[in-house]
Amino acid sequence: MRRIFTLLLLTLALNARATFFDTAWNRDSYRWGTNITFSGGTISAGSYLTGVRFINQVQQWGLRERIGRANLYLGNQTNAMCTPIITDWNGGGVLNDDLIAFVAADYTEATGLTGNGSTKYLRCSKATGLNLASFGGSANLHLAAYVRTGSNEASDVSGVSDAGGTYALGIANAGVTYVFMGAHTSNTVDSLGKGFYCSTRTAATAAATYKDGAQLVNDTVSDGGVLGNVAFVVHAINVNGSVVAMTSRAISYYGVGLSLTAAQQVPYRIAVRNVQVALGRNVE
């Protein structure tokens, strides 16, 4: 009986320890919450703790330093939603995003941000723009997103493209998902794509796109692509300064940062999925 009681106490202690570390204070979430208030937004205590847990999890799993910018699409209005929780990668110190052509009704915390397929996109670091070449190299980059609604429309979820190459999330674009990580591309059939997607290039001959933690398609051709001076956008792609291929899908996470190994993208997907589950937005 005493042994059972001791084991029960140990189990409770371990669970309490895990809960504490999930909800413990961290610098990223503190800055994020302060930025939301400064930007005229509000967020519930529960959603704020979801952000705290996300940061603590990516820290515990050794991913925090790989994520340059991350937006959880949380908060009670677009003023809150446009404040990414990680802003290491920013344009000239401009931390927040802004929404082009979106209206307030296009966003709810329960569904994410929904486009119209023609005019609406998210701009990182507002008019200053986010130049990925300032932070990562062409062989040291990942792009990620959580896509809530399935579609085979010819649109892109995020990215940039110029003469040096295309670095983008082309998900179920006309029913095909791509490895857009440079001058060369590979693709595979992927109908009505939704869930967590991550594209990454780790070397000149190593790039892949993952869906819900599993490799969907890879590219081993020597690439030679170069990240150009084009501002990164979400819910669309910026091609030589012209934003095109806007998506009508609902998106509830975007991330951009340094390259991820096949092993690293698995816990990354779990951390992002945990946010979606907490908000009832999970579609996997």
d(CA 133, CA 130): 9
In the structure encoding, which two tokens stand for residue 184, read together?
A: 């060369």
Helix (H) or strand (E) holding 266: helix 262-278
Q: Is the pTM of this model over 0.75?
A: yes
pLDDT recorded at residue 69 = 98
> Largest alpha-carbon pair distance within the chain?
72
Average pLDDT over residues 27-47: 98
d(CA 225, CA 20): 44
Burial (CB < 10 A; 0-12, 13-18, 19+), residue 178, is buried
User: By residue range, what is the domain housing residue 230?
Assistant: 2-278
d(CA 64, CA 29): 12
Average pLDDT over residues 164-174: 97
Q: Confirm if 273 and 141 have CB atoms less than 8 A apart.
A: no
Q: Please write the tens of the pLDDT for every residue from 73-111.
A: 999 999 999 999 999 999 999 999 999 999 999 999 999
d(CA 67, CA 63): 7
**3-state SS, residue 26:** coil
With respect to residue 283, please indicate whether it lies within any of the assigned structural domains. Answer: no
CATH of the domain at 33: 2.60.120.200
With respect to residue 256, please indicate whether it lies within any of the assigned structural domains. Answer: yes
CA atoms within 13 A on the CB side of 175: 2
Helix (H) or strand (E) holding 234: strand 233-234
Q: Please write the tens of the pLDDT for every residue from 182-195.
A: 999 999 999 999 99
With respect to residue 284, please indicate whether it lies within any of the assigned structural domains. Answer: no
Helix (H) or strand (E) holding 2: helix 2-23
In the structure encoding, which two tokens stand for residue 10, read together?
A: 């140990």
Confidence of residue 13 (pLDDT cuts 50, 70, 90): very low
Q: Hey, how many other C-beta atoms are within 10 angstroms of the C-beta on 102?
A: 21
With respect to residue 123, please indicate whether it lies within any of the assigned structural domains. Answer: yes
Q: What total of structural domains would you count in the chain?
A: 1
With respect to residue 95, please indicate whether it lies within any of the assigned structural domains. Answer: yes
With respect to residue 50, please indicate whether it lies within any of the assigned structural domains. Answer: yes
Contacts of 2 (CB under 8 A, 6+ apart): none
